[in-house]
């Protein structure tokens, strides 16, 4: 093993400067703060002990299933009780990322989810998040771009309203538009006009696809929704033509290891297709998805990549440089980001990469399409 590979200890991985391109604000909430909010507003959840609250808002002993995963957000939306609580939660999400030595973060949020219970104006919620994040960026050594997320299973008219806010705030804190939600039951067709306009406006486009449904969703995201990046996209490797199309277009993939295990996308992290994605030349990156809901950090995800998948230093570095190239920044911003990481992470390790032993077990639950 090379010297750099041998130095990939948890402490070294924590100290490594990082990028997270796929992190949801609604899944990045401190449990202690949620407990405080529950007490202040007398919410109908346990308020005496965070360990009693934990299983309602975090994956604990839950079965690996995407609908169970999504159900946690139904509970979480009841905590967005005031402008002050929303601002506090957004500020803390950035502070926690900075504490994990994340140098550049793209934090996505759904104004409609934050606004729903108290019927806040969507534009007001967006303002609160932007201002809180801007303040956090002044207080901590981190740069943040915000992505607005549309949800497949929300009303389409509401999605149009939220998208218009993203268009209006492009260049004023908002850098991209995302489509998330249940891809199994809700195909993306109705959203095509929205994402066409997003591309025309200049927003970066990322789409959750190829996670719970087949690789064909990745093709739809690229060809019909103008996706620059794919959220998860791990099932792309099931279809050679779609894989080749993604590689030719330079589409980046926002891979989230723990999340994929908890939602049932993979049986075992040792069989996660991240290794194959990198070997096949896809622009894969490593991200958290929902760090508080999944009880993880980006450092933890790097540890899994090293310990479970056998990734070495060179491969981790490449995923970070893949992320700099895929960031929703103007060209000079991406160049600046790349220069920063090339300076702070030594160049490629000349030692050969140690071969990894892979199990012949299937990657995914269910039949392959």
Instruction: Please identify which of the residues 211, 238, 301, 303 carries the catalytic annotation.
Output: 211
Burial of 30 (0-12, 13-18, 19+ CB in 10 A): middle
CA 257/CA 61 separation, integer angstroms:
17
First to last CA, the chain: 38
- Could you say which DSSP state residue 16 is in? S
Strands 252-255 and 229-232: parallel
Token pair of 97 as six digits: 């990322």
Do residues 287 and 84 touch, judged by C-beta distance below 8 A?
no
Burial of 22 (0-12, 13-18, 19+ CB in 10 A): buried
* C-alpha distance from residue 292 to each of 60, 192, 274 (Å): 11, 31, 22
CA 258/CA 349 separation, integer angstroms:
27
* C-alpha distance from residue 262 to each of 68, 206, 232, 274 (Å): 9, 22, 13, 16
Strand partners, 148: 109, 177
Q: Which residue has the tokens 């049986």?
A: 267
Give CA 263 to chain center in angstroms: 14
Q: Which residue has the tokens 């497949």?
A: 152
Q: Any catalytic annotation for residue 211? A: yes
Residues 6+ apart with CB under 8 A from 27: 72, 73, 76, 289, 290, 291, 292, 293, 294
Instruction: Name the residues annotated as catalytic.
Output: 211
């Amino acid at each position: 093993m090379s010297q750099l590979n041998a130095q990939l200890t948890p402490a070294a991985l924590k100290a490594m400067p990082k990028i997270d391109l796929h992190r949801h604000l609604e899944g990045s909430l401190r449990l202690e703060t949620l407990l405080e909010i529950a007490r202040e507003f007398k919410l109908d959840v346990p308020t005496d002990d965070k360990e009693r609250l934990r299983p309602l808002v975090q994956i604990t002993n839950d079965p690996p299933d995407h609908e169970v995963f999504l159900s946690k957000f139904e509970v979480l939306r009841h905590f967005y009780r005031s402008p002050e609580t929303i601002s506090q939660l957004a500020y803390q999400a950035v502070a926690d990322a900075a504490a994990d030595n994340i140098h550049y973060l793209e934090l996505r949020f759904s104004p409609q989810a934050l606004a729903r219970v108290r019927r806040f104006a969507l534009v007001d919620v967006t303002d609160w998040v932007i201002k809180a994040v801007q303040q956090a960026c002044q207080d901590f050594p981190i740069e943040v771009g915000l992505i607005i997320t549309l949800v497949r299973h929300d009303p389409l008219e509401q999605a149009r309203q939220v998208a218009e806010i993203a268009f209006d705030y492009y260049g004023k804190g908002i850098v991209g538009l995302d489509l998330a939600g249940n891809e199994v039951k809700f195909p993306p067709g109705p959203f095509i006009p929205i994402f066409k306009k997003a591309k025309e406006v200049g927003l970066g486009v990322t789409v959750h696809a190829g996670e719970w449904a087949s690789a064909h969703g990745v093709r739809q995201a690229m060809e019909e929704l103008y996706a620059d990046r794919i959220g998860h996209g791990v099932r792309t490797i099931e279809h050679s033509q779609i894989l080749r199309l993604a590689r030719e277009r330079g589409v980046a993939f926002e891979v989230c290891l723990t999340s994929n295990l908890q939602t049932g996308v993979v049986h075992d992290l040792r069989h996660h297709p991240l290794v194959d994605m990198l070997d096949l030349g896809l622009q894969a990156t490593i991200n958290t998805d929902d760090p508080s809901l999944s009880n993880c950090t980006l450092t933890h995800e790097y540890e899994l990549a090293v310990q479970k998948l056998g990734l070495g230093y060179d491969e981790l570095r490449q995923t970070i440089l893949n992320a700099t190239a895929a960031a929703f920044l103007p060209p000079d911003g991406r160049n600046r980001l790349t220069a920063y990481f090339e300076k702070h992470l030594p160049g490629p390790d000349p030692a050969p990469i140690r071969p990894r032993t892979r199990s012949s077990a299937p990657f995914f639950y269910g039949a392959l399409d």
